[in-house]
Amino acid sequence: MTTETTRATQRRRKALAITAGGLVLGVGGAMTLASWTDTEVADGSFAAGSFALASSTDGTTFVDTSAPADALTLSFDELAQNLSPSDSATAVYAVRLDQSSSYAATVDGAVTASGTAADNLSSSIEQVSDIDATETIGSLVAAESVTAGTEHPDLFELDALSDVVYLKVTVTADSELRQGESADVTWTLTGTSGESLA
């Protein structure tokens, strides 16, 4: 074997050795890029609470009357259907939170009326102790025309499912009431949810 051939063979071996070393280094470099991962996961479930008022004419059986078609028919004394000038008729009803409610309530009030006698009627609202109006607790709305359209914010609050507010409504005819006139009067209470009862 000639010296030139020997040198070529040695050069070839060196080249193969360097290439092999490079391949090993390349694999080693790829290995250093590996890393670990870990994940922490948290979730929650959400649902709306409920809120409603209920009313009653006897203080025992409460119903939701939020739809106009379901309006509570107040039990006015018999004079309501036979008014003459300066006469008054009264009715008492009860309001509480619906027993599925999750929140306290602030209650606003308003009155509207229609009919030929509407301009000759005024109404007032008092808070009383029970459905029989045994005791007057205080005046909530002073006598005002049923056609005034006045809104009364914060009439009262309901802070617990056990709270019941008894309202005595008085309707009075003025001296201008004429025979044969009539009117339909609607009292609307609007509750706004407050603090959670939980």
- Give the pLDDT confidence of 37-92 residue by residue, as tens digits: 999 999 999 999 999 999 999 999 999 998 878 899 999 999 899 999 999 999 99
Rounded distance, CA 184 to CA 175, Å?
19
Threshold 0.75, pTM exceeds:
yes
The region, left, alpha or beta by phi > 0 then psi within -120 to 50, assigned to residue 39 is: beta
- Give the pLDDT confidence of 137-193 residue by residue, as tens digits: 999 999 999 999 999 999 999 999 999 999 999 999 999 999 999 999 999 999 999
CATH 3.40.50 is held by the domain 53-196: no
- For the chain, the domains span 1-31, 53-196
